[in-house]
Amino acid sequence: MSTNPDGLALQPMVHVEDMASSVAFYEALGAELLHGSRDGDFAMLRVRSTELALLAHPPNPEQNEGLLELSFRDRAGPQQCSGAAA
């Protein structure tokens, strides 16, 4: 999760077609695998101070999911708001 001075944290989630290739791509950029696996349907990576979630299934438009989803959280409290980007 990346945090700004106001205390908001950003946690992006990306829907991917090939988890193994996607994890390898982000690892080549310096990411570290925190949770999940290279052959599963979920992985949580850390790239510097940002946590990045990968999901190996297509987004569900009926739930307003896009290829990239952004969640914002207040460090001191529960998730405040979230939005999807296509």
- DSSP readout, 27-83? HHTT-EEEEE-TTSSEEEEEETTEEEEEESS---GGGT--SEEEEEEETTSSEEEEE
**pLDDT band (50, 70, 90) for residue 76:** low
How far apart, in whole angstroms, are the C-alpha atoms of residue 25 and residue 18? 11
For residue 19, the surrounding DSSP H or E stretch is: helix 19-28
Fill in the DSSP letter of residue 1: -
pLDDT at position 70: 79
pLDDT at 58 over 70: yes
With tokens 């990306």, the residue in question is 14
Those residues with Cβ within 8 angstroms of residue 17's Cβ, 6 or more apart along the chain or in another chain:
56
**Token pair listed for 37:** 């696996």
How far apart, in whole angstroms, are the C-alpha atoms of residue 66 and residue 14? 8
Tell me which fold the domain 11-85 belongs to. Answer: 3.30.720
**In the chain, where are the structural domains located?**
11-85
Each residue of 13-29: pLDDT tens digit?
Answer: 999 999 999 999 999 99
